[in-house]
Structure 1
Amino acid sequence: MSVINTEIKPFKAQAFKNGEFFEVTDADVKGKWAIFFFYPADFTFVCPTELGDVADYYDELQGMGVEVYSVSTDTHFTHKAWHDASETIAKIKYTMIGDPTGTITRNFDNMREDMGLADRGTFIIDPQGIIQAVEVTSEGIGRNAEDLVRKVKAAQYIAAHPGEVCPAKWKEGEATLAPSLDLVGKI
């Protein structure tokens, strides 16, 4: 079952950011655009490359009014230890949520039940808490933060321009489409 166009489910979890532990809830997410960036585990191989890539785009995402939440089934304590131990992870300024019970991961239908680990899944959420985009890749396939930023821009564009859609490879400033009977069979 797809979670596209569904509202995020209630959750409460401990998180790490900027040297501090704090609680995050679903209510904290609503009211702004958000990215939930799930990954299997701290202290692994592909995961730090992806988290570091998102960290490189975090300021741009913040400028677009987007908050980033990385989530794994590790604890917030493990996130801090990884942040302290890894040069790549040390540059992260966004919130790292610990989900040791798997509640959030299951809420997004993103759990590998046989392993107790999150799949490599990305979810773009609008200010109303509705999931607008999902990307899930297998264990060895890393994601691209540059394309994630493009997808957020597209989601924000169509939210602000009802009746328009963004075609494949759309980039900010390029032409969009206005679906109509006149376009059928002409693209």
Structure 2
Amino acid sequence: MPIINSQVKPFNATAFHNGKFVPVTEESLKGKWSVVAFYPADFTFVCPTELEDLADHYAEFQKLGVEVYGVSTDSHFAHKAWHDTSPAIGKITYPLIGDPTHILSRNFDVLIDEEGMAYRGTFLIDPEGKVKVAEIHDNGIGRDASELMRKVKAALYVAAHPGEVCPAKWKEGEATLTPSLDLIGKI
């Protein structure tokens, strides 16, 4: 079954968030928009650059009503140790979820079984708990939070404006499209 528009499957995990260990479940993702960003492992190389980029954009995500969650197959204890020792990870104020049982990584189909790590998967989840954006990268390819922000804004716009769609390269404030018989063959 395709992951787009699928309901987030049940899970029970612990996150390191603002100096504390906090529980996170599928219910934590409901009632607001959420970005779930999987990464391979703590104490690696591309991962801190991506997570720091998300941290640099976190206030903007928050202004839009979007919570960000970082997830790896490491434990929440490893997340705390990494946060305490890495300047880049020390900037993070969004939850870092531990997935040592691989339940979340399997639920989102990003687990690399033979390595016990996740691919770089990014998922945007609506307030009802449905996946609206899914993107999975090979682990050598880093992501860009600015591009994710554009997709988040497009998803929020489409949700608030039924019947309209956002074309390629759409940015906030630009024209959208309203699919109709009159538009066919005119683009």
Normalised by the length of structure 1, the TM-score is 0.98
Partner residue in 1 for 2:69: 69
In angstroms, what is the RMSD of aligned CA positions? 0.7
Give me the whole-angstrom Cα distance separating, in 1, the residues matched to 2:5 and 2:101.
25
For 1:115, the aligned partner's letter is E
Partner residue in 1 for 2:139: 139
What is the 5 A alignment of 1:5-154? 5-154=5-154
Give me the whole-angstrom Cα distance separating, in 1, the residues matched to 2:122 and 2:173.
24
Deviations 1:37-96 (A, max 9, x none): 000000000000000000000000001000001000000000000000100000000000
SS at match of 1:16: strand
SS at match of 2:35: strand
Gaps of 5+ in 2: none
SS at match of 1:14: strand
Give me the whole-angstrom Cα distance separating, in 1, the residues matched to 2:118 and 2:8.
16
Q: Give the C-alpha shift of residue 2 in structure 1.
A: 2.4
Give me the whole-angstrom Cα distance separating, in 1, the residues matched to 2:98 and 2:178.
42
Q: Give the C-alpha shift of residue 139 in structure 1.
A: 1.2
SS at match of 1:87: coil
Deviations 1:73-125 (A, max 9, x none): 00000000000010000000000000001001111111111211111000000
Give me the whole-angstrom Cα distance separating, in 2, the residues matched to 1:50 and 1:102.
21
- Determine whether 1:179 maps to 2:179: yes
Deviations 1:130-170 (A, max 9, x none): 00001111111100000111100000000000000000010
SS at match of 1:43: coil
Which 4+ stretches in 1 moved above 6 angstroms?
none
SS at match of 1:185: coil
Normalised by the length of structure 2, the TM-score is 0.98
Give me the whole-angstrom Cα distance separating, in 1, the residues matched to 2:128 and 2:23.
20
For 2:16, the aligned partner's letter is F
SS at match of 1:68: strand
Deviates more, 1:105-114 or 1:40-49: 105-114
Give me the whole-angstrom Cα distance separating, in 1, the residues matched to 2:164 and 2:123.
22
Gaps of 5+ in 1: none
